[in-house]
Amino acid sequence: MATRLRQPAEKLKPVIDPAGWNAAEIEADEDWVYRFSDHEIAEIMDAAAALEASGKDLVTTGREDFALPKTGKTLGAIYEELKSGKGFVQMRGLPVTEISRARAAAMIWGVGSYFGTAMSQNSNGHVLGHVLDIGKDYNDPMARGYQTKAAMTFHTDPCDMVALLCINTAKSGGASRVLSSVTLYNEMLKRNPDFVADLCKDFFWSLHGEISPGGDPWYKMPVFTFDDGFFSARGASTHARKAQDLPGAEKWSELRNQAVDLFQELTQELAADLPFEQGDLQILNSHVTLHSRRPYEDWEEMERKRHLFRLWIRNDDLRPLPRQVRDNLLGIEVEGFVPRVTLDASEAA
**pLDDT, tens digit, 9 for 90 and up, residues 19-34:** 999 999 998 999 999 9
Residue 276 · residue 282 · CB < 8 Å: yes
Average the pLDDT over 220-244 and give the result. Answer: 93
pLDDT-wise least confident of 2-16, 87-101, 185-199: 2-16
Distance (Å) of CA 318 to CA 93, 143, 249, 278, 285: 26, 29, 31, 28, 8
Residue 114 resides in a domain: yes
| Mean model confidence pLDDT for the chain | 91
Average the pLDDT over 105-120 and give the result. Answer: 98
Residue 259 resides in a domain: no
Residue 195 resides in a domain: no
pLDDT for residue 1:
38
How much is the pTM?
0.92
Per-residue model confidence as pLDDT tens digits over 140-169 = 544 455 555 556 789 999 999 999 999 998
Residue 91 resides in a domain: yes
Under the banding of pLDDT at 50, 70 and 90, the label for residue 305 is confident
Under the banding of pLDDT at 50, 70 and 90, the label for residue 248 is very high
The residue segments making up the domain with residue 331 are: 34-183+275-348
pLDDT for residue 2:
46
Under the banding of pLDDT at 50, 70 and 90, the label for residue 347 is low
Judging by DSSP bridges, how do beta strands 176-180 and 272-274 pair with one another? antiparallel
* pLDDT over 50 (residue 50): yes
pLDDT for residue 150:
57
Residue 47 resides in a domain: yes
pLDDT for residue 242:
85
User: Which CATH number belongs to the domain containing residue 43 in this structure?
Assistant: 3.60.130.10
What is the number of structural domains in the chain?
A: 1
Residue 202 resides in a domain: no
Residue 330 resides in a domain: yes
Residue 217 resides in a domain: no
Per-residue model confidence as pLDDT tens digits over 268-303 = 999 999 988 999 999 999 999 999 988 877 767 777
pLDDT for residue 247:
94
The residues with which 225 forms a beta bridge, in sequence order, are 232
Backbone angles phi, psi at 101, to 5 degrees: -60, -35
